[in-house]
Amino acid sequence: MYNLSRLLPLCRHYTSSKVRRGIGRYVSSRLQWANKKYETFLKRRFPRFYQLYHTFVEGFKLLFQDAKEVRRIKAKMYSDGVKFQDLPYREMEKLRQFRRDMIKAVPLVMISLPPFANYLVFVLMYFLPRQLLIPHFWTPRQQVEFRGVYNSLRARHHLPVLKGLEYTSHQVKDSHLQSCLQGSVQSGVNPKVSEILAVRRLFSGPPLGIKRMSVDHMRHISPLLFLTPRLPGFFIGRRLNSHGLELLQLDRALSKLGPHQLSDAELRQACFVRGLNSDCLSINQCREWLSQWLQVSSSLKDSEVSLLLHNMVFLSANYHNGLKWSH
C-alpha cells in the first residue's frame, strides 16, 4: 500500500495556484479555439449574419475599453480634485461622448430585461441600427451613412434659424448692429469671423441671449445639438445653456491642445460635433473650418454661449448649400 503521508504534499502541489492558472489558460485557449471555429462557420455559411456578429463583438470590446477609460478619468478627477473644465481635450471629449452613448443605450437595456425580450431587441437592433445602437456597434459604412442622415436632419433647421435671426434683426435699435446682423444672415455666404464677432453683444442679452430668445427660435436651435425640441421653453433654455457651455469648454481645451494634434478621425468628429458635414470635405478643409470656429469660440465669454450655438449655422449653412465660405 502507498504511504499516504507521501501523497499529501503531492496533492497540495497539484492544487496550487499554478495549477489553477494552468487550467484557466487551457480553458481560455479552448474557448478561443471554439470561438474561431464558430466565426469561420458563420463567415462561410452566413456572411451577412457574420458581419453583424463581428461588428457586435468588436463593438463590445470598444465599449468595454471606453468604460475602463472613463472609470480611470473619473477616479483621477475624484482623487486629484480635477473639474471637468480642467481636463485635457481628449478626456473631456471621452466623458461627453460616453455619457451621450449611455443615455441612448439605457432604453434598449430596459426593453431587454423581461424574459425572452432579448430576441425582440436583436430584431429591432438589426432593422433600426441608427435609432437604437450607439456608434460602437455601427459598421464603418454605417458610420458615414448615419452621420450623413444626422447632418441632413440638422440642415433642415438652418433656414428657420436664419429666418428667425432676420426677423429678430428688426427689433434691434442700434442701426449698426442691425445692419451687421442682417448682413450676416442675408449675404448668401458664410460670414467672416470678424463679422460674427461684431454682433456678439446681441447674443449675451436681448434679443438673442440664451434666456432672451423666443421659444420658437430655441426649438430650431435644439436639433442642431440633437436635443429634442418637444419640451417646455424653460427646460429647452436650460439644456441649450448646459450643452453650449460644455461645447465652449471643449473648445477651450482643444485650443490648448492645438487642432493640429488631432488625428484625421478626431478632426472629422470635432467638425461633426460643431455642425459641419465633414465626411464630404478634405482634411485640409476640415482643419481650416475648425480653425475659423476656434477663432470665434476663443473670443467668447460664458454669457455669450448663444453666439456659439448660432455659429453652427453661421459657419455651416451656406457650405451645406454648396457655397464656399468667404475668407
Can you give the residue range of the structural domain that contains 89? Answer: 34-136
Place 1 in a pLDDT band, splitting at 50, 70 and 90. Answer: very low
Number of folded domains that form the chain: 2
Residue 98: per-residue pLDDT: 95
The residue among 118, 136, 154 that closes a domain is 136
Judged by DSSP in three states, 245 sits in helix
Same domain, 45 and 149: no
Q: Name every residue whose Cβ is closer than 8 Å to that of residue 119 and which is 6 or more positions away in sequence.
A: none
Share of residues in the chain with pLDDT > 70 (%): 84
Asked, for residue 87, whether it belongs to a domain, the answer is yes
- How many other CB atoms are found less than 10 A from the CB of residue 146? 17
Same domain, 146 and 105: no
Tell me the average pLDDT across 249-257: 97
CA dihedral 142, 145, 149, 155 (to 10 degrees): 140
- How many other CB atoms are found less than 10 A from the CB of residue 280? 12
Q: Are 270 and 290 in contact (CB under 8 A)?
A: yes
Residue 118: per-residue pLDDT: 62
Asked, for residue 295, whether it belongs to a domain, the answer is yes
Residue 169 pLDDT greater than 60, yes or no: yes
Same domain, 72 and 208: no
- How many other CB atoms are found less than 10 A from the CB of residue 125? 17
Asked, for residue 221, whether it belongs to a domain, the answer is yes
Same domain, 77 and 218: no
Asked, for residue 1, whether it belongs to a domain, the answer is no
User: Grid coordinates representing 303?
Assistant: 454669457
Residue 26: per-residue pLDDT: 64
Q: Which of 6-10, 16-20, 213-217, 281-285 has the lowest mean pLDDT?
A: 6-10
Residue 287 pLDDT greater than 60, yes or no: yes
Q: Which of 37-46, 199-208, 225-234, 254-263 has the lowest mean pLDDT?
A: 37-46
Interatomic CA distance for residues 293 and 311, integer angstroms: 8
Same domain, 157 and 56: no
Place 189 in a pLDDT band, splitting at 50, 70 and 90. Answer: confident
Per residue in 3-29, pLDDT (tens digit) is 545 544 545 544 555 666 666 676 666
Q: Which amino acid is at 176?
A: H
Asked, for residue 56, whether it belongs to a domain, the answer is yes
Q: Name every residue whose Cβ is closer than 8 Å to that of residue 207 and which is 6 or more positions away in sequence.
A: 168, 171, 172, 213
Same domain, 146 and 110: no
Same domain, 309 and 193: yes
Residue 320 pLDDT greater than 90, yes or no: no
Same domain, 228 and 283: yes
The residue among 75, 109, 136 that closes a domain is 136
Asked, for residue 218, whether it belongs to a domain, the answer is yes
Q: Which of 117-126, 194-203, 251-260 has the lowest mean pLDDT?
A: 117-126
Same domain, 71 and 102: yes
Asked, for residue 13, whether it belongs to a domain, the answer is no
Place 204 in a pLDDT band, splitting at 50, 70 and 90. Answer: very high
Tell me the average pLDDT across 313-325: 66
Residue 251: per-residue pLDDT: 98
Place 323 in a pLDDT band, splitting at 50, 70 and 90. Answer: very low
Per residue in 104-126, pLDDT (tens digit) is 888 777 776 777 666 677 777 78
Same domain, 119 and 89: yes
Place 175 in a pLDDT band, splitting at 50, 70 and 90. Answer: very high
Q: Which of 2-16, 29-43, 180-194, 257-271 has the lowest mean pLDDT?
A: 2-16
| Mean pLDDT for the chain overall | 86
Tell me the average pLDDT across 263-274: 96
Q: Is the dihedral of CA 14, 18, 24, 29 positive or negative?
A: negative
Strands (E), 107-208: none
The residue among 136, 152, 185 that closes a domain is 136
Share of residues in the chain with pLDDT > 90 (%): 61
Same domain, 234 and 293: yes
Residue 134 pLDDT greater than 50, yes or no: yes
Tell me the average pLDDT across 144-166: 94
Same domain, 152 and 284: yes
